[in-house]
Amino acid sequence: MDPVVATAGGVALLLFALGGGKKKKKGCPPFEYDAAKVQLAIGSAMASGIRSHVAIATTVARATWPVHPKSKQPIVWPPVQGSPKEVVCVWEMLLAQISSDRTPCPEGTTLSEDGERCDPDVTVHGFDVTPYETPPESDYPTPGTLVQIRKDDILEGTASANNKSKHAERSIAYTTLLSAGYIAARDAGEDDAAAKQFARLVANNASNRHDYFQLIQCSPWNDALYTTYGYGPQAMPSPVGRALRFLPQHDDNRARIIMGQAPRRATKLGAPSDQKKGNGSGTGRSFEYLWLPKINLEILFKSGGTTITTQGVSWDDGSNGIMPPPEILQFGVDNVPNSVSWGCLGYSATSGDME
């Protein structure tokens, strides 16, 4: 179905529901709510790649009602605690209109269970990423997989999604090392209890976490697609001076790979003089789809849980596990500067090596 036709149909149905075909509904005085205009703005936001209902609503509200119609003061969208009741009223009407849309995702995609993204339909587009990734719903990534970064994820630290005091946070380094330690111990013949104890030993080691998150940043694939010199004062740069930022400023590279397209860099690289200024920016609206480098689990176990290395772990073509497998690299990379040597710690590549 043509998305424009579908949207038009949705507008007609919604206008009927809101007032028998009237053009405007004054449901939140002094705001005037024009459902047809709002629907066009919703369609424009969706066409630009915005996924979640809240993100769509924020974009539409900021464009449609930048200032209060009576006070002429700028409005904060989404509403915050203490916002005028009429602002909250408009926000709720907007969310209801977005939720009533029967086609929240473009044709050939389906809305994810969490409502945050439109996943391409594998039956239509063909490439199945599931053998190469940590399932998006999993809180514990596995080394040697791709992981879709989520809102509130952090790179280091010891937070996990099961931590009741920080239920939304997940340290990628910490949770991945928990998985690595457990698998390493089980592969070595340890029982479940001993494997869990070894996993905690590995993940609670701050040096291990630092080593692993630097491996993540130093993967030439991650570096080429996501890092920037324009990181803020809280970020920890890699040895080459660039850092991951975990902000929704990237292309939806998971969707691009599923559709058989090259993952694309959307982040401004900047220059070394931009370090700690936090002025990196990106043209996308998704979080990173990161490669989690392989870890030599045998060395990890034999070292007593103190050695994090990619040494000795490679793919069938001989490439090191700090990079994604050939099945992912076959798509190449897009919009990546050719003048930069990507990666560090003895592993580097040009964008041509990833084409």
CA dihedral sign of residues 273, 152, 226, 109:
negative
CA dihedral sign of residues 200, 201, 203, 204:
positive
CA dihedral sign of residues 266, 269, 274, 276:
positive
Q: What is the mean pLDDT of each run of 10 residues along the chain (355 residues)?
A: 28 29 61 86 70 81 91 90 91 86 59 64 72 91 95 88 65 96 97 97 96 95 96 91 92 89 93 87 90 97 95 91 94 92 77 65
Instruction: Provide the pLDDT for residue 118.
Output: 67
Q: Which two tokens stand for residue 1?
A: 């179905």
SS3 readout for 150-204? CCCEECCCCCCCCCHHHCCCEEHHHHHHHHHHHHHHHHCCCCHHHHHHHHHHHHC
Instruction: Provide the pLDDT for residue 21.
Output: 37
Instruction: Provide the pLDDT for residue 123.
Output: 60
pTM over 0.85: no
Instruction: Provide the pLDDT for residue 262.
Output: 93
Instruction: Provide the pLDDT for residue 227.
Output: 95
Report pLDDT digits (tens) over 267-311: 999 999 989 888 878 888 889 999 999 999 999 999 999 999 999
| Residues linked to residue 250 through DSSP beta bridges, in sequence order | 286
